[in-house]
């Protein structure tokens, strides 16, 4: 049996994103029918959709992708291997920060998004024109065209419509539906949902953190801060074992911290949270 969510998406926004952009806030306030039409009505579907949306938009504060990269930002992009194909070396990549200060990133995004995702070459500036916008950061001329056709809105001719109140939910829900994200949400598989939305696992940890906060609220459970997972992470950090910022999500860093703590305290070596670990940590 599929249980309908008692909490509306707009309730989640009111609870967790007090600084949400007015376009997004109003889109969700008016969007219950659209969400229902696209099947985002169960607790899992609502929680997964909102976790992805809140990550992609920085807590509903980002309407359009910023190209205002600093030298440090560009260095990080080079070091992560993302932009090696576009620059001869790291110094050339970092140097692009000078241009970003002048044009807010138009040349940079025209270059790195040029010649792919349906965009023309860098000289056309398609990469800048069709940079990420909206709730799921629609990116690339091909996506603007395909989602525009699905939504009967000329997103190619007027890209900023993607993030306006009257249209903001439409492209996000169309992309969600086209990628069959509801099925992945029904299996509570956030990694698969992320791959379907993002094409990879970029920002997975932050997406998990959003979900860990939203899920208890949707189902009426105690806040994540009350969970054993959150309390263990906080206790490990306090004891000098780097579990990462407490978020209630047990990932690689937390498992490593648990094992390190267990080794120090001569507890059975398992990365799980058991009564022995809770007792040892005073929880």
Tens digit of pLDDT for each residue in 106-115?
Answer: 999 999 999 9
Lowest mean pLDDT among 138-142, 169-173, 202-206: 202-206
pLDDT at 99 over 50: yes
Whether 107 and 242 map to the same domain: the answer is no
CA angle (33 as vertex; 62, 184 as ends), nearest 5: 70
Stretch among 24-33, 109-118, 145-154, 231-240 having the lowest mean pLDDT: 231-240
Averaged pLDDT, 192-219: 91
Considering the domain boundaries, does residue 138 fall inside one? no
State mean pLDDT over 62-76. 95
- Structural domain boundaries, residue 165: 9-62+161-219
Other C-beta atoms lying within 10 Å of the C-beta of residue 22 = 9
Shared domain check, 260 and 231: yes
User: What percent of the chain clears pLDDT 90, i.e. is strictly above it?
Assistant: 70
Could you say which of 81, 109, 129 is where a domain stops?
129
Q: Which of 85, 113, 129 is the last residue of a domain?
A: 129
Query: pLDDT band at 148, cuts 50/70/90?
Result: very high
What was the pLDDT predicted at 272?
A: 83
Specify the pLDDT at position 274. 86
Q: What is the mean pLDDT of the chain?
A: 92
**224, pLDDT greater than 80:** no
Average pLDDT over residues 70-96: 93
Asked if the structure places residue 235 within a domain, the reply is yes
Instruction: Determine the Cα–Cα distance for residues 135 and 28; give it in Å rounded to an integer.
Output: 11
Domain membership flag for residue 3: no
Sign of the dihedral through C-alpha 176, 180, 185, 191: negative
Whole-number pLDDT of residue 242:
83
Does 235 share its domain with 210?
Answer: no
H or E, element range at 110? helix 106-112
Say if residue 83 is in the same domain as residue 210: no
Q: Are residues 44 and 173 in the same domain?
A: yes
| 173 and 191 co-located in one domain | yes
> pLDDT-derived band of residue 248, with 50, 70 and 90 as boundaries?
confident
243 and 276 within one domain: yes
pLDDT at 180 over 90: yes
In the predicted structure, residue 1 carries a pLDDT above the cut 70: no
Residue 144 lies in a domain: no
For the chain, the residue count is 283
Q: Number of structural domains, the chain?
A: 3
CA–CA distance, 49 with 172 (Å, rounded to integer): 10
Residues 245 and 265 in one domain: yes
Whether 150 is covered by a domain: the verdict is no
Predicted local distance difference test score (pLDDT) of residue 2: 54
Same domain, 165 and 215: yes
pTM assigned to the model: 0.80
Q: Is residue 241 part of a domain?
A: yes
Rg of the chain's alpha carbons, rounded to an integer?
A: 21
Mean pLDDT on 82-96: 94
Residue 153 placed within a domain: no
On whether both 99 and 57 belong to a single domain, the answer is no
Same domain, 171 and 35: yes
- Domain assignment present for residue 203? The answer is yes
Shared-domain flag, residues 179 and 58: yes
pLDDT in tens, 22-47: 999 999 999 999 999 999 999 999 99
| Average pLDDT of the residues in 148-176 | 97
Give the whole-number percent of the chain exceeding pLDDT 70.
98
């Amino acid at each position: 049996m599929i249980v309908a969510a008692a909490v509306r998406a707009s309730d989640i926004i009111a609870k967790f994103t007090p600084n949400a952009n007015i376009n997004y806030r109003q889109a969700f306030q008016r969007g219950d029918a659209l969400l229902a039409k696209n099947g985002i009505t169960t607790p899992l579907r609502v929680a997964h959709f909102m976790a992805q949306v809140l990550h992609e938009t920085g807590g509903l504060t980002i309407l359009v992708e910023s190209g205002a990269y600093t030298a440090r930002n560009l260095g990080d992009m080079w070091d992560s291997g993302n932009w090696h194909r576009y620059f001869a070396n790291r110094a050339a990549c970092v140097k692009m920060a000078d241009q970003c200060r002048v044009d807010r990133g138009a040349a940079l995004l025209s270059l790195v998004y040029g010649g792919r995702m349906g965009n023309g070459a860098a000289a056309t500036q398609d990469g800048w024109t069709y940079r990420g916008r909206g709730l799921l950061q629609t990116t690339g001329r091909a996506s603007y065209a395909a989602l525009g056709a699905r939504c009967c809105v000329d997103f190619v001719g007027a890209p900023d419509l993607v993030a306006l109140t009257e249209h903001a939910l439409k492209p996000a829900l169309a992309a969600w539906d086209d990628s069959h994200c509801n099925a992945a949400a029904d299996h509570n598989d956030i990694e698969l949902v992320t791959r379907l939305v993002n094409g990879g696992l970029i920002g997975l940890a932050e997406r998990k953190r959003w979900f860990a906060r939203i899920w208890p609220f949707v189902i009426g459970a105690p806040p994540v801060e009350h969970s054993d997972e959150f309390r263990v992470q906080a206790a490990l950090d306090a004891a000098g074992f780097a579990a990462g910022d407490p978020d209630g999500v047990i990932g690689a860093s937390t498992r490593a911290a648990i094992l390190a703590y267990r080794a120090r305290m001569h507890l059975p070596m398992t990365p799980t949270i058991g009564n022995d670990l809770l007792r040892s940590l005073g929880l």
